[in-house]
Structures are given as structure tokens and as C-alpha cells.
Amino acid sequence: MRKVALVIVIMLAVLVLIIGGFVVMASRPFTKDAAVFTASRWTSGNHIFPTQIAVYPTKVIRYTPKWIGHEEQTISIDQIASVRISAGLLFADVIIETTGGSQPIVCHGHWKGDARGIQEKISEALAARPSGTVR
């Protein structure tokens, strides 16, 4: 009886380690080519797989890992009309509005400092566009 209980405890511990390792691996930054801002695990919808936003010089990507695969939204810097921050006490939502009238990219649960960092990086990318670019 004790051996069976010990085997069950060991199997559960191994299962927890495997699942924990998977969650950690899936939650690491998805790119090293750009600044990546990760939402806090303390916020709704980000407990296991927090959403990430990467700001490149030419595009912005919202990346959400899942148990199987991921969800990704990409918007060109040229298509960004504005970036709004809806801030609470600790956390903020980042709303990226488009010029084409399509649905905005919304990312919930970033620390307020990260939200300002996303806004600044996007502003820098917009300012760095060639002067001949028409919006």
C-alpha cells in the first residue's frame, strides 16, 4: 500500500514538473529581435500564458501563447492611428487604433510603466519612418 502511494506521489510530482516546464517555456519572450512587453500574470486572462507585445521598427505584434499553438495579431506601423492607455492603480490596458477603421489591438494587464514603454516605442517607430511616407 505504501509503495503504491509513493508511486502515485512521484507520478503526480513528475506531471506537475512537466506542465510547469511547458508553461514556463511557452511564456518566454517569443522574439529577441525587438522590445517585448509581457502582461502581468496577476491580471485576468494572463495567469498561465501572458500576452506579449513586440514593437519592431515596421510593425507591432500582439502574441498570446496557448496550450497548443498561439494567437498572433500584426499591424504595420503605417496603419497605426493612435495608442491609448487605460490605466488603473497598478495595471493598464494598451489600445492600438488603426487608420483603416478595423478593430483595434487591445492588450490587457500590462504594468503601467510597460504600457508607457509600448506607447513610447511605437511613437519612436512612427517618428523614424521616412519623411515621404503618407498616412
CATH number at residue 80: 2.30.29.30
Mean pLDDT of the chain: 87
Q: Could you tell me the pLDDT band of residue 38, with boundaries at 50, 70 and 90?
A: very high
Please state, in angstroms and rounded to a whole number, the distance separating the CA atoms of residues 83 and 8: 51
Domain-located, residue 57: yes
Residue 70 belongs to some domain of the structure: yes
Question: pLDDT tier at 83 (50, 70, 90 boundaries)?
Answer: very high
Q: What domain count does the chain have?
A: 1
Mean pLDDT, to the nearest integer, of 32-41? Answer: 89
- Tell me the Ramachandran region of residue 134: left when phi exceeds 0, alpha when psi lies from -120 to 50, beta otherwise: beta
Q: What's the rounded Cα separation, in Å, for the pair 50 and 117?
A: 17
Given a cut of 60, is residue 134 above it in pLDDT?
Answer: no
Q: pTM of this prediction?
A: 0.78
User: How large is the average pLDDT for residues 39-49?
Assistant: 87
Residue found by looking up cell 503504491 in the block: 4
Task: Find the domain containing 104 and state its range.
Answer: 2-127
61 - beta bridge partners? 54, 74
